[in-house]
Amino acid sequence: MSPVSYGMPNRKFKKNAPPARCARLLASETMIQSKVYMDWNATAPLLDEAREAILSGLDMAGNPSSVHGEGRAAKAALEQARRDVAALAGRDPAHVTFTSGATEAANWVLTPDFRMGRSPLPVGRLYVSAIEHPAIREGGRFPRERITEVPVLSSGVIDLDALDAHLAAHGKASHAAMIAVMLVNNETGIIQPVSEVTELVRAHGALLVVDAVQAAGRIDLAEHAGEADFLILSAHKLGGPRGVGALISRGEALMPAPLIRGGGQEKGHRSGTENLAGILGFAAAAKAAAIDMGERNARIATLRDRLETGMRHAAPDVIIHGADEPRVANTSFFSLPGLKSETGQIAFDLEGIALSAGSACSSGRIGESHVLSAMGFDPKLGALRISIGPATTEADVERTIEAFTRIAGRRRMAGAA
């Protein structure tokens, strides 16, 4: 990955400053000026292909709803983008509805107000796994008293027996049940057994919503979540622009009531003139993600394994959460006993490494991880997430290991003092 320059101001040294201190300051400046980006789960850097597609969309004068030539050209580009996004998910393009992002998609689909054709199909209760992203855990348009949390095992995998018991108790007397579960956890990278969840859901006549945001481009969505009723995607996790996402349904007969009403765009499911430039960027990123996915992720897994080997060598007491479970190739979520999340994130930032303490969707707040808590860990333990991407290099990984080694060493010295 190309170095990121932050334009540091010129450092003025005090007269007769110790040479060693000057050297450390200069080394620090050099480090920061070529920062290593290891936070791809928060957002992926914009791909060149996506940037070009965005610019082409900005140059299109027509509104996709207009009937003149310019409008028809914009509509054609929009529909091609719909096909490209659908292909990544292995779904019918007719069932892709574009939104302003995954959070809007979640708020739209998580609702008690569904329709089967022209008939209402009330949904009585929402069941969410305990490790869901905040956009799902908030429950969309369900009132708080109609949301039930399903526990996970200490491994970080949803407790299927508990889910089965909840659905059996729910029955059908209080209308349909909806289950929301992520395919890949955004903190640990653990792949959830969505195929088995789907079997339970079908047996109980419930609806299934799958957050596939962190899974898209990293595993085959059709293989792992092909029978889910709804999939949620986000462009910027793929190297597309921020502010664009999609809800992909299994069919058109069963759909949630619109969240945004107006001119009837997107078949009346999501009104408002489509963000054509953003959607074209989304589609370009989706196409790029589908190319050589297996080969790309095998290379990323090698880098991730090298990183974790280096961390274990530097600090044998490091805890790598989910290391024994199926994970996507790019994610490492770890705790270093004695190091708080906020302290660790700042320490790595000063070392020139950009990483996170988990979800980046909480307005910059660094709080205790609900994922760690759900897995049975003391949330005060703290954890940091390294997530890498296609542009990450071996040199980036080695610099991260070196930074980790220095931080772990300072922790030991602080403890000895």
pLDDT digits (tens, 9 = 90+) for 239-288: 999 999 999 999 999 999 999 999 999 999 999 999 999 999 999 999 99
Which among 257, 360, 361, 366 is annotated as catalytic? 361
Report the pLDDT value the prediction gives residue 173, as an integer from 0 to 100. Answer: 61
Identify the three-state secondary structure at position 380: helix
Sign of the C-alpha dihedral computed for residues 139, 220, 82 and 292 taken in this order: positive
Residue with tokens 């921020």: 242
Report the pLDDT value the prediction gives residue 365, as an integer from 0 to 100. Answer: 56
Instruction: Check: CB of residue 90 under 8 Å from CB of residue 226.
Output: yes
Give the whole-angstrom CA distance, residue 224 versus residue 340: 35
Report the pLDDT value the prediction gives residue 26, as an integer from 0 to 100. Answer: 40
Report the pLDDT value the prediction gives residue 254, as an integer from 0 to 100. Answer: 94
Q: Mind listing the domains of the chain with CATH numbers?
A: 19-38+292-416 (3.90.1150.10), 49-290 (3.40.640.10)
Q: Which of 299, 338, 295 is nearest to 317 (CA)?
A: 338
Residue with tokens 């209080």: 174
Give the whole-angstrom CA distance, residue 368 versus residue 39: 18
Question: Could you count the other beta carbons within 10 Å of the beta carbon of residue 80?
Answer: 13
Dig out the tokens for 79 from the structure.
């529909």
Report the pLDDT value the prediction gives residue 379, as an integer from 0 to 100. Answer: 76
φ, ψ for residue 156 (rounded to 5)? 95, 10
Q: How far is CA 104 from CA 4, 64, 99, in A?
A: 31, 21, 6
Instruction: Check: CB of residue 371 under 8 Å from CB of residue 378.
Output: no
Q: Which residues of the chain have pLDDT under 50?
A: 1-32, 363, 416-417
Report the pLDDT value the prediction gives residue 366, as an integer from 0 to 100. Answer: 62
> What pTM value is reported for the model?
0.89
Q: Which of 325, 329, 254 is nearest to 296 (CA)?
A: 329
Question: Could you count the other beta carbons within 10 Å of the beta carbon of residue 363?
Answer: 5
Report the pLDDT value the prediction gives residue 411, as an integer from 0 to 100. Answer: 80
φ, ψ for residue 98 (rounded to 5)? -80, 145
Task: Give the alpha-carbon dihedral of 235, 237, 242, 248, to 10 degrees.
Answer: 30
Q: Is 361 a catalytic residue?
A: yes
Q: Report how far apart the first and last C-alpha atoms of the chain are (Å, whole number).
A: 38
Give the whole-angstrom CA distance, residue 198 versus residue 175: 19
Identify the three-state secondary structure at position 204: coil
Report the pLDDT value the prediction gives residue 33, as an integer from 0 to 100. Answer: 55
Give the whole-angstrom CA distance, residue 275 versus residue 63: 10
Q: Is 121 exposed, middle or buried (0-12, 13-18, 19+ CB in 10 A)?
A: middle
Q: Which of 405, 82, 382 is nearest to 247 (CA)?
A: 82
The set of residues, in sequence order, having a beta carbon less than 8 Å from that of 33 and lying 6+ positions away, is 3, 5, 6, 8
Identify the three-state secondary structure at position 359: coil
pLDDT digits (tens, 9 = 90+) for 303-353: 999 999 999 999 999 999 999 999 999 999 999 998 999 999 999 999 999
Report the pLDDT value the prediction gives residue 118, as an integer from 0 to 100. Answer: 86
Residue with tokens 């919503």: 209
Q: How far is CA 327 from CA 17, 214, 260, 295, in A?
A: 49, 11, 36, 16
Give the whole-angstrom CA distance, residue 301 versus residue 218: 11
Helices 160-170, 194-203: inter-axial angle, 10-degree rounding: 20
